[in-house]
Homo-oligomer: A and B are copies of this chain.
Amino acid sequence: MNAHAPRYRTLDMPGILALLSGLPDIAARLGGDGAQWTICEVSDGNLNNVFVVDGPHGGVCVKQSLPYVRVDPSWKMPLDRTFFEASYLRDIHPLVPGLTTRCLHFDPDLFVLVVESLSGHTVYRTALMAGAQWPRVVPDIATFVARATFGTSVLCAPFEHVFERQAVYARNTTLRRITLDLVLDDPYHDHPRNHWDDRRLDDVVGRIRASCTVRRVVDGLRLRFLTCPQALLHGDLHTGSIMATATDTRVIDGEFAIYGPIGFDCGMFVGNLVLRRFADPSPDAGRACVHDIHRFWNGFVAEFTRQWATAHPTPSDPSGPCAFFLPDAADASSRGERTPGPSQDPLQDLPPGRAAFLRAVFEDMVGYAATEIIRRIIGYAHTADFDVIPTHEARTVRRRAALVFAYGLLCHHGTHDGVNAAFGALAGQGEVE
C-alpha cells in the first residue's frame, strides 16, 4: 500500500484491539483483558482514523494515518503525519504537561499513535457552538502557546539543540505545503479547492483579491511562514484542536507541527475566536470576543516574558550566548511577573528588545488571524461555526461581515497598536458589517 512502509496496513477496530493487546503498558492502563475493552470510532476531522478504547481501568485514544485524506480518498498523502504528531507531543509535553496529552506509544510501521484519552472533554468548537462559557480555555491556550514556543526556541536553548529539532520538523513538508497552499495561497486566487455557497460573497472576495495591499501583506505572511523558524508551532491551533471541560484544557492534533513564526499559532487561535463571534453577532458575544482576545494576548505576553525572565534572570548572569535582550541593570527588577489589565499595553514596561520581539509576534498574530478567517469562509476547509445559524440568508450576511472584517485587518496590517486597535470593533453593537 505504501512503498516506504511495507508493514503498513489500515487497521480496523479488531486490528486496533489486537495491536493494543500486544502492548503491555497500554493493556495495563486499560485494565482487565481485551475482551472487556470497548472501541469506538471518533474520527471527525479530515485526515485520519481516530478511535477511543476504554477498559475497566482507563482509556486511550488511537490515531492512525491513512495513505490518503480520510474525507477524500482520491487525495493521496504520505503516512508520516502521526510521526510528527508523536514527535511534537514528546517535545512539548514536558513544557506543558497539563495542557496536552502524553504520547503513550508510536508504531513507526503502522503509523499508529496512542495517547491518553480525554473522557468528559468536548471539542472546544463544539462546546462554543452549544453556548459553553468556560473561563479556563483562553488563558490556558495563552500559557500553552507561550511555553511551547519559548521552550523550543533559541531564546531558551543553545541553537545546536534547537537546529536538531528543526531538522526533524523540516521533513513535515506535506502538511506545511497544505497550510502554505490552502491557508496562505488558494483563497487569494481562483483555485478549484476554494468554495463558498452564495454568490453574494463574490464581490467581497473580488475586492480582497484585487487589493494590491492584501496581496503584498499575504505574500509577506507566506514568506515569513517559510523563513522565520522562531519556535516549534502546533501549526493547526484552531478551536477544533482543543478539547476542554469547564476546568481542564487540552491541545490535541499536533500533526502540523513545524518551526515557524510564533504569531502563526496565536493568529490561528484568535482567528477562530473571531469566526465564532461572527457566527453569534449579539453584542454580548462581541464584547466577550474582544475580552477573550485581550486575555489571550496579555496572558501569552505575561507567560512568555515570565519564561524569558526565568531563563536568563539578570544581566550579570547572562548564562552564555543565548541570552537575548536582557533587561538593563537599571530595570532588572521583577518585570514580566505581572499580568496587566485588559486596557493596558502588556508590552509597555518590557525591555525594549523584548517588546520589539513581541510586537512583531503581535503583527503576525493579526495577519495570520485574518488569513485564517478568510480561508475558513472561502477556502477548502470551512468550520462548523456558521452551521448553527438558521437561514442561508443570515449565514451569508455573517460570513460576509467576517470577510469584510478580515479584509480590513489585512489592509491596515502593521499599523495596529494593540488588541483594541485591531479587534476593538468586534465589540460593536448588534450585527457587524
**Which A residues form the contact surface with B (CB < 8 A)?**
153-154, 159-160, 162-163, 166-167, 170-171, 173, 176-177, 180-181, 185, 189, 212, 215-216, 219-220, 222-223, 226-230, 318, 321, 324-326, 328, 351-353, 356-357
Contacts and interface: CB of A to CB of B under 8 A. Distances in A.
B353 A220 contact: yes
A171 B163 CA distance: 8
Contacts of A325: 216, 219-220
Given A216-B351, A219-B325, 15 more contacts: A154-B226, A159-B176, A159-B180, A163-B173, A167-B170, A180-B321, A181-B321, A189-B318, A215-B353, A216-B356, A220-B325, A222-B321, A222-B324, A227-B229, A229-B229
B180 A170 contact: no
A171 B185 CA distance: 31
B154 A227 contact: yes
A215 B167 CA distance: 30
A268 to B, nearest CB: 19
Main secondary structure of the interface of A (DSSP, over half): helix
Nearest to A154: B226
Contacts of A163: 170-171, 173
Contact of A328 (B159, B170, B212, B321): B212
Contacts of A153: 227
Nearest to A169: B163
A223 B154 contact: yes
Per CB-CB distance, the 8 closest pairs between chain A and chain B, nearest first, are: A216-B353, A185-B321, A163-B170, A160-B173, A219-B324, A154-B226, A167-B167, A159-B226
A176 to B, nearest CB: 7
A170 B167 CA distance: 7
Contacts of A328: 212
B228 A228 contact: yes
Given A159-B226, A163-B170, A173-B163, A352 B180 contact: no
Nearest to A258: B163
Contacts of A353: 215-216, 219-220
A357 B163 CA distance: 25
Contacts of A170: 163, 166-167, 170
Nearest to A173: B160
Contacts of A189: 318
A216 B356 CA distance: 10
13 contacts: A154-B223, A160-B173, A162-B226, A163-B171, A167-B171, A212-B328, A212-B352, A215-B353, A216-B325, A216-B352, A216-B353, A216-B356, A222-B321
Contacts of A160: 173, 177
A318 B226 CA distance: 18
A181 to B, nearest CB: 6
A247 B219 CA distance: 40
Contacts of A171: 163, 167
A182 to B, nearest CB: 10
A351 to B, nearest CB: 8
B228 A227 contact: yes
A173 B162 CA distance: 11
A11 to B, nearest CB: 30
Contacts of A167: 167, 170-171
Nearest to A158: B177
Contacts of A356: 216, 220
A408 to B, nearest CB: 19
Contacts of A166: 170
A215 B324 CA distance: 9
